[in-house]
Amino acid sequence: MKALVYHGPGQRGWDTVEDPSIIDPTDAVVRIDTSTICGTDLHILKGDVPETTPGTILGHEAVGTVVEIGPSVSTVVPGDRVLMSCVSACGRCRYCKEGRYGQCLGGGGWIFGHLINGLQAEYARVPFADTSVYKVAPELTDEQVLFLADILPTSYEVGVLNGTVSPGDTVAIVGAGPIGLAAILTSKLFTPGRIIAIDLADSRLEGAKRFGADTVINNSREDAKAIVLELTDGLGADVSFEAVGMPATFELATELVRPGGHVANIGVHGHSATLHLETLWIRDITITTGLVDTFSIPQLMRLIASGRLDPSLFATHRFPLEDTMAAYDTFADAASTNALKVVLEGNDRGATGGARAEMLVAH
């Protein structure tokens, strides 16, 4: 089969590799119908994620069709259309039993395209299939559910739920990339009073407006803290999200929040950031961090099915799966392409993905 293979910092290829097969009895093999690229894949390509070794197939977000199951898999069968989450769950360890799949002790967690071969490929081996994949109803298209693999649950769980967004709140979001935009969408589920998006790029702020931000601030030329204070009677936001992953943006997120407010860090940090306890201690601030667990996928999928959550704005570009190399170029050059998420479409997928299951069973 063909797959996008990481060959060490700065190097990737669309290579012919061995077809995946069942290794553990809890595995499934899935044909990838629709996949996408994450900013984290770019971090891996820069060499920022040393645990990912050269030769690893990248990708941790996809929708596909089960083609083979291991002997102990009992809840999916060949032909089922499934969403694969960026986080796998052994289902048996202490953390999995608490729904904290990101912290799985039994071999799950973020493994796809990180510690094992990932999902930017024609086929993938999917460990712990019973506890890690989500069946997709025929009325939902692949593209409607694809962003449930990572960005929507990340922003919802690590941002909105950790930050306890409540009706009427002022929510300030630092960073308006896919994660910041998903934070706008999922904050709206709680009817905040005002959503403020802050970014250095005007194109990203335009996106934030389309996703539902009420106020946008370009902090390359505007004073974000002054504007947020002005909009909140001098208090600050009820909740702020850090959705960039840099020391300066974390510090900014802590400056924007009101006494008694919540700072939810979503960004992945590679460097230490300063926690200004000398100013924060007296302000009753709660700061949370987190790796996504994706426990909210079923809940968010129901909201998409009922039309109350619409992720369609994320897909800015579409490529055939075999053009994954070109898709990376487009995604990595977001400043000029305005890419948010690029959708990679496999050859055999149907128009909506709905009818393919039958085809495969017959196969």
Ligand X SMILES: NC(=O)c1ccc[n+]([C@@H]2O[C@H](COP(=O)([O-])OP(=O)(O)OC[C@H]3O[C@@H](n4cnc5c(N)ncnc54)[C@H](O)[C@@H]3O)[C@@H](O)[C@H]2O)c1
Q: Which of 3, 30, 38, 327 binds Zn ion (CB under 5 A)?
A: 38
Q: Which stretch binds ligand X (CB under 6 A): 14-22, 120-128, 187-195, 264-272?
A: 264-272
User: Which of 37, 76, 18, 20 is closest to 345 using CA atoms?
Assistant: 37
* 153 counts as binding ligand X under rule CB under 6 A: no
* 158 counts as binding ligand X under rule CB under 6 A: yes
Shortest separation between residue 150's beta carbon and Zn ion, angstroms: 4
Residues 93-112 that bind Zn ion (CB under 5 A): 93, 96, 104, 106, 108
Long-range contacts, 16-25 (Cβ 8 Å, 24+):
17/57, 17/121, 19/123, 20/117, 20/121, 20/123, 20/124, 20/125, 21/68, 21/125, 22/68, 22/69, 22/70, 22/125, 23/125, 24/70, 24/127, 25/70, 25/71, 25/72, 25/73
Draw the binding track, 276-315, toward ligand X (x: CB under 6 A; -: no contact). --------------xxx-----------------------
Instruction: Please enumerate in sequence order all residues whose Cβ is within 8 A of that of 340, keeping only pairs 6 or more positions apart, or say none.
Output: 177, 178, 181, 207, 313, 314, 315, 316, 334
Residues 112-151 that bind Zn ion (CB under 5 A): 150
Specify the residue, 38 or 184, whose C-beta has the smaller distance to Zn ion: 38
Query: Could you tell me if 228 and 256 are in contact, meaning their C-beta atoms sit under 8 angstroms apart?
Result: yes
* 148 counts as binding ligand X under rule CB under 6 A: no
Cα dihedral 259, 260, 261, 266 in deg (nearest 10): 110
φ, ψ at 230 (rounded to 5°): -60, -35
* 178 counts as binding ligand X under rule CB under 6 A: yes
Site size toward ligand X, by CB under 6 A: 30
186: tokens are 């999922």
Draw the binding track, 181-220, toward ligand X (x: CB under 6 A; -: no contact). -----------------xxxx--x--------------x-
Instruction: By CB under 5 A, name the binding residues for Zn ion.
Output: 38, 40, 90, 93, 96, 104, 106, 108, 150
Instruction: By CB under 6 A, name the binding residues for ligand X.
Output: 39-40, 150, 154, 158, 174-180, 198-201, 204, 219, 243-246, 248-249, 266-268, 290-292
